[in-house]
Structure 1
Amino acid sequence: MELRFILKQLILPPGGFLVLLLFAWLLWAWLGRPRAAGLVVFIGLAGLWLFSLPVVMEWAARQIEREPALAEAQWPGLAQQAEVIVILGSGREEADPAWGGDQPSVTAIERLRYAARLQRASQLPVLISGGLHYGQPPSEAQLMADVLQRDFSVPTRWREERSRTTWENAQFSAELLKTEGVRRVVLVTQAAHMPRARWCFERAGLEVVAAPLGFLGVPNERPVGGWLPESKALWQNTRLLNEALGMAVYPLIYR
């Protein structure tokens, strides 16, 4: 897991751009190739600029976010289409003194809020899937279940606390649910993550009703049409690149 994390940080921005700059320095200082070094620096800076543009983020999100949002009128009918709401973990923020400990990440809170509304409308039971964050307890599932109950008054029937990846979210959740005879799930995660998550859960033998949220492929409404760089767009584009790479790699390593 540690090696996977390190490689991911070296590939995704901003780590990938820093690796390019290091490569450029090696070309110039060690190999005496100033023109090649200049080209690599240009590629790195151009990539950093593009990844910082909201307009690029908006376009990229539209390529990845394939599942439509559920209309609110559809929420009560979910009980006829599925048997459980599955919420996927999304990391945590550590040791926040305002809360007296670790808390679910911002994206995890978004998933909980949306799932709470779906649960009240459909009355379906809830499963939360998320293992240990960097191997440290409590699990993401436990943190999210506590928040779901305390802040949204929604109970959690099942907690899957072993998973470290989206593939494991699906495999271990399917193990829990199939012992109860459950095979149809409402899957709650960000819109960009939904294609990879759905693929994993269907490979685990579950029928999926997609409930995506947090769409990024919407008009950005930024000044100058989104052509000015900003740090938020860099973070969002990094998430989208992570999903694009995940969708490319998962079919190669998981069967």
Structure 2
Amino acid sequence: MPIRYLFKQLFLPPGGLLLLLLAAWWLRRRAPRLALLCFCLGFGGLWLMSLPLVVEQAARALEPASALPAAEWSQLTQRAEVIVVLGAGRERGDPAWGEDVPSLLGSERVRYAARLARVSGLPLLTSGGLHYGLPPSEAAIMADSLQRDHGLTVRWREETSRTTWENAQESARLLAPSGIKRVVLVTQASHMLRARWCFERAGFSVVMAPVGFLGVANARPFGGWLPESKAVWQNGLLLNEALGRLLYPLLYR
């Protein structure tokens, strides 16, 4: 995990773009033209990454799955047997809570899954292992949030996975004794297609329940053309997802 984390932070934006700017400075006398190219790529990449407009357009390309209509929530028992909520990291030791809590994305998934569970009556499975190798697991943190904040008891906790592929494989192992093969899958809209691909290859029939759509009108002044710090984070998530979709079919055939 530390090596994977190191390479990911170094070469994906903004790390990779900052390296280009550093290379431009180092090459400014040795190879001025190459330095100019590195500067343009680094600066231009950071500028694009900071634009809400780029978030909106990139998300539209990565979010082809439609939202699950609210009118269908009460009939989910006809299509699925369990709601699976995928982990999305955690916030460590927030003094306000006095404990680890789901990340912003994780909290969004938990809230949506809780609403689906209340309306449909389906049981819940939380999936997510140790974040950077430290307990408690993401699955346990989400289960605790569902219990304390929404009054819902999680029936299954999958606490060993580290990737989306492992989310699917370990969930299949956990549900196998119950013979469950039909799931409602809750994750971010941009992550949904890759998650569905993994769960289908684990033998599941998937009802998609995406949340957190970014490909909607950004509602920013000047149409989202002004840089914004939040957009850097969101574009980083979208780029990570785009790379994941390219690599997963090669890594997990």
Under TM normalisation by the shorter chain, which class is it? over 0.9
Residue in 2 that maps onto 1:48: 46
Q: 1:2 deviation in Å?
A: 1.5
User: How many residues were matched structurally?
Assistant: 253
Matching of residue 248 in structure 1 with residue 246 in structure 2? yes
1:95 pairs, out of 78, 93, 96, with 93
Q: Quick one: which amino acid aligns to residue 170 of structure 1?
A: A
Matching of residue 34 in structure 1 with residue 32 in structure 2? yes
Q: Quick one: which amino acid aligns to residue 48 of structure 2?
A: L
Distance 2:186 2:53 in 1: 26
Q: Determine helix, strand or coil for the equivalent of 1:137.
A: strand
Residue in 2 that maps onto 1:22: 22
Residue in 1 that maps onto 2:138: 140
Distance 2:36 2:176 in 1: 57
Distance 2:208 2:232 in 1: 27
Distance 1:96 1:120 in 2: 28
Residue in 2 that maps onto 1:189: 187
Q: Tell me which stretches of 4 or more aligned residues in structure 1 moved more than 4 Å.
A: none
Residue in 1 that maps onto 2:65: 67
Deviations 1:40-89 (A, max 9, x none): 11111011111111111100000000110011101011110000000000
Q: Determine helix, strand or coil for the equivalent of 2:17.
A: helix
1:209 pairs, out of 183, 200, 207, with 207
Distance 1:69 1:146 in 2: 26
Q: Quick one: which amino acid aligns to residue 25 of structure 1?
A: W
Matching of residue 12 in structure 1 with residue 12 in structure 2? yes
Q: Determine helix, strand or coil for the equivalent of 1:217.
A: coil
Q: 1:27 deviation in Å?
A: 2.4
Q: Determine helix, strand or coil for the equivalent of 2:153.
A: coil
2:119 pairs, out of 115, 118, 121, with 121
1:237 pairs, out of 215, 235, 244, with 235
Which moved further from structure 2: 9-18 or 238-247? 9-18
Residue in 1 that maps onto 2:218: 220
Q: Determine helix, strand or coil for the equivalent of 1:75.
A: helix
Q: 1:18 deviation in Å?
A: 1.1
Deviations 1:189-243 (A, max 9, x none): 0100101111111111111000001000000010001111101111111100000
Residue in 2 that maps onto 1:172: 170
Q: Determine helix, strand or coil for the equivalent of 1:178.
A: helix
Distance 2:19 2:196 in 1: 33
Q: Determine helix, strand or coil for the equivalent of 2:171.
A: helix
Q: 1:23 deviation in Å?
A: 2.2
Q: Quick one: which amino acid aligns to residue 146 of structure 1?
A: D
Q: Which runs of 5+ in 1 are unaligned?
A: none
Q: 1:19 deviation in Å?
A: 1.4
Matching of residue 2 in structure 1 with residue 2 in structure 2? yes
Same amino acid, percent of matched pairs: 66
Cα root mean square deviation, aligned: 0.9
TM-score relative to the length of structure 1: 0.97
Deviations 1:168-187 (A, max 9, x none): 10110011112210000000
Q: Determine helix, strand or coil for the equivalent of 2:167.
A: helix
Q: Determine helix, strand or coil for the equivalent of 2:134.
A: coil
Distance 2:118 2:243 in 1: 35
